[in-house]
Amino acid sequence: MSVLSTLDWIFILAYFALILGIAWWVIRQKNDTSDDYFLAGRNLGWFVVGASIFASNIGSEHIVGLAGSGATDGVAMAHYELHAWCLLVLGWVLAPFYMRSKIYTMPEFLEKRFSPTARWVLSIISLVAYVLTKVAVGIFAGGIVFGVLIPEVNLFGLNSFWVGSILVIVLTGIYTILGGLRAVAYTEAIQTVILILGSLLVTWYGLDALGGWGELRRIAGTEMFNLWKPLVPAGMEGTWAPVKTDTQMAWYFNGNYPWLGMLFCAPIIGLWYWCTDQYIVQRMLGASSLTEARRGTIAASFFKLLPVFIFIIPGLICFALAASGKMANISAALLDSNGKLINANAQQAFPLLVASVLPAGIRGIVVAGLLAALMSSLAGVFNASSTLFTMDLYSKFRPNTSEKSLVRVGRIATAVMVLIGLLWIPVIQGSRGLYDYLQSVQGYLAPPIFVVFFFGVFNKRLNAKGCLAALLVGFAMGLFRLAIDTPVILSESFKYEEGSFFWIINNIFFQYYSLVIFLVSALVMVVVSYATEQPSYQQISGLTFGTVTSDQKAETRASYTKGDVVTTVFVLLLILAAYLYFNG
């Protein structure tokens, strides 16, 4: 039976009307050049940039997963959210290079810094990764949300998973195809407000039902409020063994997150995602100036701190309500006969709170927030994929294509991504193993991309041959691990012989394997570059710290004010305060 009332549906329909109205207004604006369609005419303000970055990052799977981790492990997963500082690195360190070079895509920057081949390699890898991860995971989580909140929906023999997924994919696809990045960015700005408001209401009403923050601290205990304790279980402080074995099961956190991996690997993945991924950086590239771009990243870094309190804390509240027995339906859903939390059911934490503690109408706002999270993520990946295909691949094979033709191809590419999303539904429906498996893919693809971007900007001696070698070797190592992992994921009966080479590779923590890829990629890039000729100074001028001219330095200094610095320091202090507060 649906938990949604008539008033809830009114709010949900009002949300759709608002989003489609904004999209229609944007679509009627000028959209006939590649700048207009792919980068919103490079005219976005800082709030739209920041809100769009945040909305693209937060999908419904993010909300459901973080709340579930809050119920099982407390605030430990806040480590990833506190990587908001990576956005400050984007704004202060890399934005001047990106904005100065007037690029459309991240692979295009590699072409300017290194070579066209590096651009094509990264473009193809990025497109494949988007289809396999962002599209699949977003649709999967969206279908789950619909299945929980409106399970009785059945249309033409299709259940709520199908109906919800198709509806959201098609609606998102329509305004993304017609409006390009401008439609995506402006709708995401509104969706950010709705998402934050809805999630804050869940936290507020959840705390009210429980009895306040003090009651939450009392029931959850100090360990649930400790960022570090779950990562370093008692007696395991000195453990460095990289392979999962039965005797070390207590060592790894949440199934596959050793503390050393969290310490060293998570920042690499974070910097790759926030600073070099087209999916995120494209919003900043649409800013009207370097000043607006940087302020957008500062705003996004502040927004990024909110999930700790509006997604993870609701999971903790749900656990506390179950443990205290204050809500029998939540206790029945989350606890076993001995009163212990059933980890497999923890993903229901956020939907359970929505269904149990929110009054009619407010529940509709929160569901609209969940829809906003799903639609913004899908719109982001549709638009990013379209830009990569059109600007990095199609325009290279058809260099004399008119602006109008590029926009048309971009729309066709977006439509193809929408079709791929629809075709993914039967593959991912109910496939929890595939969902978990896809989350580790970025750990295998991120390190070589991180290396070529960051090393390339900081070291002017590194050349195109070193970049290409690092990309190819790094990607080959990642694909090798994926090829070994895939049979184990797809078949529960498939196992490698314990102690064999393939068994060892399969059982190395994915974050440790990711660190190995990083180290090898870095070594390859440095060795190959220094063993071959220096890059042309004319080509890399202004693209590395060592080749920035005095005029360019002056331009960068003029792009920020004391207010920007103070705001940045404030965000860093908030991050530090969170680390200090969540210390048990």
- Report the chain (584 residues): mean pLDDT per 10 consecutive residues: 76 86 80 71 87 82 76 79 92 94 91 93 87 71 66 66 73 81 82 85 90 88 72 46 44 51 80 91 91 96 90 88 84 79 75 83 83 79 86 83 84 84 64 55 88 96 96 93 78 78 83 91 97 92 92 93 96 92 76
How far is the CA of 571 from the CAs of 88, 279, 470, 530, in angstroms?
Answer: 9, 23, 34, 39
Our CA angle for 103, 105, 106, nearest 5°, is 100
Which residues lie below 8 Å from residue 486, measured CB to CB, with a gap of 6+? 437
Instruction: Give pLDDT, residue 489.
Output: 67
The Cα–Cα gap between 193 and 186 comes to 11
Contact 276, 445 (CB under 8 A): no
Residue 42 φ/ψ region, left for φ over 0, alpha for ψ in the -120 to 50 degree band, beta for the rest:
left
The pair of structure tokens assigned to 555 is 């331009």
Q: Tell me the one-letter amino acid at 228.
A: W
Residue 37: which of 279, 351, 336, 384 has the closest Cα?
Answer: 384
Q: What tens digit of pLDDT does each residue of 552-567 get?
A: 999 999 999 999 999 9
All domains of the chain in start order, with CATH: 6-210+275-439 (1.20.1730.10)
Two structure tokens written together for 31: 């959209």
DSSP H stretches of helix in 306-393:
307, 313-324, 328-334, 349-357, 362-387
Q: What is residue 237's predicted lDDT score, i.e. its pLDDT?
A: 44
| 361: three-class secondary structure by DSSP | coil
Residue 435 neighbours by CB distance under 10 Å: 17
Residues 425 and 575: their CA atoms lie apart, in Å, by: 38
115: left (phi > 0), else alpha (psi -120 to 50), else beta? Answer: beta
Residue 407 tokens, joined: 């926009």
| 33 conformational bin, left if phi > 0, alpha if psi -120 to 50, beta if neither | beta
> Collapsing DSSP states into helix, strand and coil, what is residue 341?
strand
Least Cα distance to 435 among 125, 132, 66, 69 occurs for 132
Query: Rounded to a whole number, what is the largest CA-CA distance in the chain?
Result: 71
Half-sphere exposure of 152 (CA within 13 A, CB side): 4
* Structure tokens given for 237: 């402080």
d(CA 250, CA 244): 10
Comparing C-alpha atoms, which of 326, 552, 228, 344 is closest to residue 334?
344
Contact call for residues 272 and 449 (beta carbons, < 8 A): yes
The reported pLDDT for the residue numbered 82 is 86
Do 1 and 376 form a contact (C-beta atoms < 8 A)?
A: no
Cα(22)–Cα(184) distance, integer angstroms: 10
Predicted confidence at residue 236, as pLDDT, reads 45
C-alpha pair distances (Å), 446 with each of 186, 399, 401, 439, 481? 29, 30, 32, 12, 14
What is the structure's pLDDT at 411? 86
83, 95, 294, 301, 569 from 566: Cα distances, Å: 19, 18, 13, 14, 5
CA distance 354 to 327: 13
The predicted model scores a pTM of 0.85
Distance CA 522, CA 109 (A): 19
> Per the structure block, which two tokens stand in for 443?
């750990």
